[in-house]
Each structure stands twice: as C-alpha cells, then as structure tokens.
Amino acid sequence: MSSSSSLGGHSKSLRLAGEDIWKNKTEKVNGELFTLMYGSIVSQLCRDYQRCFPKVNDQLYTMGYNIGVRLIEDFLARTALPRCENMIRTSEVISKCAFKIFLNITPQVSNWSTDKNAFSLVLVENPLSDFVELPMDAMKQLWYSNVLCGVLKGALEMVQLDCDVWFISDVLKGDPQTEIRVKLNRVLKDEIPIGED
Amino acid sequence: MVAGSRTQPSSEQDGMSEQERLQHQLQIFQDSLPKVNQLAYQMLLNEMVPLAVSVENRLAQTEHVNNSETIDSSGDKDTVSEMVRDLHISPKLDLPSHKLCLQLYEAEEERKKRILERLRSMGFQTGNKLSELLVFSNNPNLTFKDMDLLAIMKFICRDVWKQMFGKQIDNLKTNHRGTFYLFDYEYRPIQPFALDDQSTEKELEMVKPFLEIPVGVIKGVLSSLGYKQEQVVCLASYIDRPADRPKSTFPKGISFHVQVNK
C-alpha cells in the first residue's frame, strides 16, 4: 500500500495511514518500560518540589513543550501530511495519526465547541499512567500525564496553531474518564521576509 | 518431547533446544507486551537532562525570592482570572532544551553536582523497578540459584541494556574482585547527537551528563538485587571505538566502570 496516496483523503484513510506507519515504519519499545521511566521522572519532581504539585504540573508541561517542538518534525517527516484546513481535520490527525504513531492509542474526539475551535481528546488507555496509583495528597492537584499537554502545545505551535491544552479530568483522580481539552486561540501568521512584498 | 528433554538435561543437543524453546517463549511474551514508539521513549529519556537543569533553576529562583508562599487552597476564588491562573492552563515556559544543556555545561561545580545527582536518581529509580519487570518475565537466562555478582552484571549487560537501549553491552571485563568494565561502543540515546567531525572537547563534555542516566540505572538494578547504593561506585567515561567497528554517528564509545565493595 502506498501511504502517500492514501493520505490525501478523509478520516478513514488517516486512520489507515496511522496504522500503517505504526505497524511497518516504527521502531517500538516496551510500553511498561516507558511507563516506569515516566514514573521515575514524576516521582523525582515530586520530591524536588516537596510535593507542591502545581509546580510539578508546570514542570511536566514545559518539559512536554520542549519535546513537542522537536517531535513534530519527526511526525511531519514520517507522515508527509499537508497543512490541516480546519480544527476538525487537526483533531483527526492528532487522534488517528499522532497518538497512534507515538503511543499506539487512538483517543476519541468529542465535545466540540459551537465555533468548532475547541475539542476534547478522551483517552481510554494511557501508556503514561498504566498501573499507576496516586497517593491521596497527589490526587487533588497532580495532573500526572501533564507532559502530554505540553507536547501537544509545542507541536501545534510549530504548525502555526496557537492553542491552549489542558487536562479536564483523569481516571487517576477518580474521574470517569481521562480528557484533554484543546482550544485554538488563533492561527499564527506566516511571516513574510521584509521587502518581499 | 518436552518430558524427554527434561529427563536428559545432560544431552547437549536437547539442552540447547530446550534453551531455545524458552528463549522463543520469552520472545513471544515480550512481543505481546504493549508497545510505544522508540522515538517517544528516547526523547523522554534524553529530555531528563534539560529537565534536571530546569528544576535546579526553578528551585534556585524560589530560594532567591525566599517567600514562604504556600498554596492557599482554602480561600474562595472570586474572580475568573484567578481561577484561570490556578488552573495553570498555560504555565510559563522554560528555555529551550539546548539552552538548558548549555547552562549545565557552564554551571559551577556545586550546581552541576546537584543536577547530575538528580539525573542519577531518576536513572536509579528506573533501574530499580526495571529489574522487577525483567525478573518476572520468565527469562530463561536468569537463574536465582547462586546468582553471584558476575551473573548480575551479565544480566545488566544482556537483559537490562537490551530492554532499555535496544542492544546489548559490547564488552564486559572484570578482575573477579568486584571491578567491572562495561563497554558500549554505540550507546544508543546519544547516537543522534550531531557533533563536528573533529569532535571538540567541549561538545563531548556537553554530552557527558547524558551518561549519568545509565549510571543511575546500573546502580538501581544492583540495588534491587541486593547491592546497596553505598557499596557501588559507577563512573562513565569516553573510550575510543575499536578500529574494526563500522563508523557510527557518535565518535566515541562509552565505558562504565563499576566497582562493588563488599
């Protein structure tokens, strides 16, 4: 199957493309190892900040941002996707391609705002928090997987989408589902060099 | 067939095939585990270094301001802006990772020590738990009957390294008195780092902090198998790659010097 030809189309081919890249073009590592490495990072942060969890959240977010701005490069190279024309398309690329390729999960897209600028990603499974259980004091304030928000923020910014990304709920906190909210603030303008026009 | 090979463990041929069968089973088990992208994993691994610097920066900042502000969760939030701020939707961002790495290179001794200690600690915790993961994977290479230090080091070279870095250690040397040298000529996480052809001292020095994570991992694994952190000294340094090895992107191999004191 030629993946490039299938990428032009609609959402179904996006899913196929994502699966094809995951299956055939991706080197994989044990997900449990990934989970416990991330766990080591979070627990070290909790210790460093003496269990001041908002600070841990911020640190995870900025770490994610720094990963996202570089991860997007690999994503674009691997998928050869063109620019998305609207947020609906963007949401599909994120859930069916990006999450599939990097974490082998496909979050559901839901809760669209009326202006179609904000949506939610519902994570049924989350490789970052497999077999994780938060202690009581952390349950209130810690967004354990906040690195994901940072990654999305950084990656979207690199494709000229200025977004806010944050967690709404997390099963680790006793919520019924894990939900990330993505809200478009504005589309950043392509800068034209001075004197070009 | 299985019963046959059990009753004649002395038979070389049967022993081999039994071993192979178990090996095969382990492989199937490993393949059945959930997987994630190697790149996502590696970026997370390497991002620990700038992260450790950033934490140090932020801790120093709060100490500098020296305000003992505690999070006031009891007071009710009147304004929307206050609530938004508390939600921390878009926190203040850090410097980019490469700037943080440069800061680490330029940091004075004390600061550097604290940052490297933080890195080792993260590696330590990973290694500590990783050995549990590997021990319970029905690995035929592992027998706990008279598992001596050498066997543990072999376990690190083979299973731990394979799991974490996708390859085994290239060479293991020991004096049988508690000193071990583990050579990895292509330490995986640093391979994509672009260095000039004539890799300058500065650049090599800047990559060095990335070696503290595997140092921590080695100590963590040893600790989980009964060798306390204080007993173990582990140091990483660069070595030249043997001439007969194919040229890789990173010009130097890594040597881990492990010293275990009884």
Bridge pairing between strands A118-123 and A108-110: antiparallel
Mean pLDDT, to the nearest integer, of B238-262?
Answer: 86
Domains of chain A by range and CATH? 11-187 (3.30.1380.20)
Percent of chain B predicted with pLDDT > 90:
45
Grouping H, G, I as helix, E, B as strand and the rest as coil, residue A29 is strand
Kindly list the residues from chain B whose CB atom is less than 8 angstroms away from the CB atom of residue A169. none
* Separation of alpha carbons A149 and A168, rounded Å: 11
Using the predicted structure, report yes or no on whether residue B4 has a pLDDT greater than 50.
Answer: no
User: A33, A129, A141, A153: best mutation site toward chain B, by most B Cβ within 10 Å?
Assistant: A33
Q: Which residue has the tokens 């500590």?
A: B128
Measured CA to CA, the distance from residue A71 to residue A76 in angstroms comes to 9
Please, what's the largest Cα pairwise distance for chain A? 59
> Is residue B33 situated within a structural domain?
no
As a whole number, mean pLDDT of residues B27-46 equals 90
Please, which residues bridge with residue B256 across strands? B182, B236
A31 and B92 within 8 Å at the Cβ level: the answer is: no
State the first-to-last Cα distance of chain B, in angstroms, to the nearest integer: 45
- Yes or no, beta carbons of B51 and A59 under 8 Å apart: yes
How does strand B171-174 pair with strand B179-184? antiparallel
Identify the pLDDT of residue A149: 96
Tell me what pLDDT residue B121 has: 95
Percent with pLDDT over 90 in chain A: 82
Structure tokens that stand for B217 in this block: 């991992």
Residue at B80 is within a domain = no
Query: Could you tell me if residue B183 is inside a domain?
Result: yes
Instruction: Closest CB to B40: pick one of A57, A59, A102.
Output: A102
Question: How many structural domains are present in chain B?
Answer: 1
Buried/exposed code over A83-112 (b: 16+ C-beta within 10 A; e: otherwise): eeeebebbbbbbbbbbbbbbbbbbbebeee
User: pLDDT grade, residue B173 (50/70/90)?
Assistant: very high
Residue B180 lies in a domain: yes
Instruction: Report how many Cβ contacts below 8 Å link chain A to chain B.
Output: 138
What is the C-alpha separation between A42 and A58, in angstroms, rounded? 12
Q: Element (H or E) spanning B184, and its range?
A: strand B179-184
For residue B194, the model assigns a pLDDT of: 73
Vertex A44 angle, CA B188 and B137, to 5°: 55
Q: Do B88 and A57 touch (CB under 8 A)?
A: yes
> Residue B241 maps to which CATH number?
3.30.1380.20
> Is B32 part of any domain?
no
Average pLDDT taken over every residue of chain A: 90
Which one is predicted more confidently, B147 or A158?
Answer: A158
Length of chain A: 197
CA distance B157 to chain A (A): 17
Burial of B210 (0-12, 13-18, 19+ CB in 10 A): buried
Which carries the bigger pLDDT value, residue B147 or residue B85?
B147
Q: Is residue B148 part of a domain?
A: yes
Helix, strand and coil content of chain B, in percent to the nearest 5, comes to 55, 10, 30
Segment A17-76, tens digit of pLDDT: 999 999 999 999 999 999 999 999 999 999 999 999 999 999 999 999 999 999 999 999
* Average pLDDT for chain B: 83
CB contact under 8 A, A59 and B58: yes
Tell me the mean pLDDT in the region A136-157. Answer: 94
Mutate which of A40, A42, A52, A69 to test chain B, going by most B C-beta atoms within 10 A?
A: A40
Per residue in B101-132, pLDDT (tens digit) is 989 999 999 999 999 999 999 999 999 999 88
**Closest CB from A31, A59, A61 relative to B33:** A31
Structural domain boundaries, residue B215 = 38-58+93-260
CA distance, residue A41 to nearest chain B CA (Å): 6
Give the model's pLDDT for residue B6: 46
How confident is residue B3, by pLDDT bands cut at 50, 70 and 90?
A: very low
Do the domain assignments include residue B16? no
Q: CB B94 to CB A65 under 8 A?
A: yes
A102 touches chain B (CB under 8 A): yes
Q: Is residue B14 part of a domain?
A: no
Range list of H helices, B189-250: 201-207, 212-224
Query: In this complex, do B133 and A33 lie within 8 Å of one another by their Cβ atoms?
Result: yes
Give the CA distances from residue A156 to residues A68, A69, A143, B45, in Å, rounded to whole numbers and listed in that order.
Answer: 8, 8, 20, 22
Q: Does the pLDDT of residue B69 top 60, yes or no?
A: no
For chain A positions 38-77, those within 8 Å of chain B (CB to CB) are: 38-41, 43-45, 48-49, 52, 54-55, 57-59, 61-63, 65-67, 69-71, 74
Could you report the per-residue pLDDT of B70-87, keeping only the tens digit for each? 444 444 545 666 655 555
pLDDT band at B9 (very low <50, low <70, confident <90, very high): very low
